[in-house]
Amino acid sequence: MRVATALNKILSIPGAWVSGIAFTPAGVVVSLRRRRKLLRCPCGRSTRAAYDRAVRRWRHLDLAACRLYLEAEIRRVDCRGCGRVRTEEVPWARPGARHTRDLDDLIAYMARSMDKTTVTRLLRVSWEAVANSVGRVVADGIDDARLNDLYRIGVDEVSYRKGHRYLTVVADHDRDGAVVWAGEGRDSDTLKRFFVLLGEERLGQLEAISADMGAGYAKAIEEARAEGLLTAEVCLDPFHIIKLANEAIDKTRRWAWNLARTAGEEGAAWVKGTRWALVKDPGELTASQRLILRELRSSRSVLYRAWEMKETLRDVYRLREFGAAHQFLDRWLARACRSRIPAFLKLSRTLRKHRNNILNAVELGLSNSKLEGLNSKIRLINHRGYGHHSAAALIAMIYLCCGGITVRLPTER
Ligand SMILES: [Zn+2]
């Protein structure tokens, strides 16, 4: 059997056959000849006349440990439909790519679960090449229909580049928190961009939006409401409320520490070691952290009172009945108001302002537990080395890992 015939069988490149093979320092180069003589513009128009021709190479899956390239003549077409010169599409690669579809898909599949350094080393491609492949697979695989049946969405901010930059992520509550959109920035303009993308009809169909109470998103929501485009209820996501409560705990610790220090008490140093005991989920406390809480309780520390208030706040979201949650929250606000702990006084004022939105979340059952998972998933993407580059590259990774995109491996086709 001739080498070309063997390679034809092994590679089975769609729409082309192997016409030659060369061993070069860069790797094995397989020349392809197109089956179709007719030229096709990416817009779908066919023509016979080529504008010009050039030879192009695409990196393909490795042949054993050798790099393998496909080489073919690629033609450009002066398309009357498009009114400009465009490069014809080839069946084995995505437009503009220097990787074959198979290699793109393999890279995207691996990028989903491996750190970037491992992918680049294993496949011998550059960091940029990984980002480009992911970008192409996502652009190819993302379905515009994902925006059609949105009723309950969650909006959240995500930081990257060590917290110096932000993205806004929109997720669909009714599809297990799948990301439907991500954009650069975290202000009202960012969310407005999403609203514009949705368009009036789909925006009007939204029933609930759960969001952070950061002023940015609220402004975009209020404006859309004022224009009569949006009727969705706004729900304040429990996760952010608990975050605020934890911040109040931190402030209370500093406050208590200063009080104890000025009073010359010994407790001052001890207050410092209490942070994790106070802010962690009670179910996840270690034995020594539980001991710290017990000691705070028996010494009637103000920190214990603060902790108790934070934990009770969590219970608002556990109440299934709207009336009950209503009463419970009002009692909590009154208690925080009387607590004489400055940070909790301030917290009660903030929460009072958002009372209706908190209760909306209870009534509509929109716990953002799915979005909490999303947040940690995105942090993980960052950790695996995909968050250091452009916002566009990170957004593509978020769609890839959290957007419900299917990646088909070359071996599974
Ligand atoms: Zn065209």
Every domain of the chain and the residues it spans: 1-97, 144-237+367-412, 238-364
* Phi, psi of 342, rounded to the nearest 5 degrees: -50, -45
In this prediction, residue 211 carries a pLDDT of 85
Residue whose token pair is 């608990």: 242
Half-sphere exposure of 299 (CA within 13 A, CB side): 12
Whether the CB-CB separation of 167 and 158 falls below 8 Å is answered with yes
Cα of 103 vs centre of ligand 1, distance in Å, is 27
Q: What tens-digit pLDDT sequence spans the chain (413 residues)?
A: 788 899 999 999 988 999 999 999 999 999 999 887 778 888 888 887 888 999 999 999 999 999 999 999 999 988 888 889 999 889 999 988 999 999 999 999 999 999 999 999 999 999 999 999 999 999 999 988 999 999 999 998 888 887 788 999 999 988 888 999 999 999 999 999 999 999 999 999 999 998 877 668 888 998 999 999 999 988 887 777 888 899 999 999 888 888 888 877 666 666 767 888 888 888 888 888 888 888 888 888 888 999 999 999 888 877 777 788 889 999 999 999 999 999 999 999 999 988 988 888 888 777 656 666 787 888 899 889 887 778 999 999 999 999 989 999 999 87
Whether the CB-CB separation of 281 and 292 falls below 8 Å is answered with no
From the number of C-beta atoms within 10 Å of its C-beta (0-12, 13-18, 19+), residue 281 rates as exposed
Q: Which of 6, 26, 28, 27 is nearest to 17 (CA)?
A: 6
At 224, list the tokens. Answer: 């859309």
Q: Which of 315, 354, 353 is nearest to 332 (CA)?
A: 315
What 3-state DSSP class applies to 58? strand
Cα of 309 vs centre of ligand 1, distance in Å, is 65
Cα of 288 vs centre of ligand 1, distance in Å, is 69
Cα of 46 vs centre of ligand 1, distance in Å, is 8
Cα of 86 vs centre of ligand 1, distance in Å, is 7
Pick the CATH number of 144-237+367-412 from 3.30.420.10, 3.40.630.30, 3.40.50.620, 3.40.50.2000: 3.30.420.10
> 237-262 b/e with 16+ CB inside 10 Å = b?
bbbbbbebbeebbebbbebbbeebee
Cα of 41 vs centre of ligand 1, distance in Å, is 5
Q: Alpha-carbon distance 308 to 375, whole Å?
A: 26
Residues 6+ apart with CB under 8 A from 337: 345, 348
Q: Alpha-carbon distance 337 to 182, whole Å?
A: 38
Q: What is the DSSP letter of 379?
A: H
Whether the CB-CB separation of 226 and 351 falls below 8 Å is answered with no
Whether the CB-CB separation of 358 and 367 falls below 8 Å is answered with no
Half-sphere exposure of 95 (CA within 13 A, CB side): 11
